[in-house]
Amino acid sequence: MIFIVVKFKTKPEFTAQWPEIVADFTAATRAEEGNLWFEWSRSLDDPSTYVLVEAFQDGAAEAHVNAPHFAAGLTAMQPALAETPKIISRQLDGAGWDSMGELRVDTVGAGL
């Protein structure tokens, strides 16, 4: 799978609107064949920074960056950004999330 993490630092006047700005892009990407997940989070240390964690089946990321909604999404994002986004993109073995071995939670109570 292709595993991608991107940090987006927004301008203060656009920070609260960011989820709306990326809503169409997010919905279209989640609907793509080969998309495994596309999840937004917000930094606890810097509320103007949003973090995108996404994954695609092998070969599907190329179709993603060539899709019409990709270019439209970047165009919508650009005016709201304070700087060029930072990205990590890697090919990984596997097809999804694994359970964390160091911390287990059972349905009766927390257990390690």
Residue 103 lies in a domain: no
Q: Any idea what the CATH number is for the domain that residue 80 is in? A: 3.30.70.100
| Residue type for position 24 | D
Identify the pLDDT of residue 62.
81
What tens digit of pLDDT does each residue of 1-22 get?
999 999 999 999 999 999 999 9
Could you give the number of structural domains in the chain?
A: 1
How many CB atoms are located within 10 Å of the residue 77 CB?
18
Answer whether 9's CB lies under 8 Å from 82's CB: yes
Name the pTM for this structure: 0.88
> Where in the sequence is the domain holding 35, given as residue range(s)?
2-95
| Residue type for position 94 | G
Residue 105 lies in a domain: no
Parallel, antiparallel, or unpaired: how do β-strands 49-56 and 110-111 relate? unpaired
Question: Given pLDDT bands bounded at 50, 70 and 90, which one contains residue 81?
Answer: very high
Asked whether residue 65 carries a pLDDT value surpassing 90, the answer given is no
Mean pLDDT value of segment 65-85 = 96
Give the separation between CA 44 and CA 23, rounded to whole angstroms.
21
Question: Given pLDDT bands bounded at 50, 70 and 90, which one contains residue 49?
Answer: very high
For 44, phi and psi rounded to 5 degrees?
Answer: -80, -25
Residue 110 lies in a domain: no
What is the DSSP-derived secondary structure letter of residue 80? G
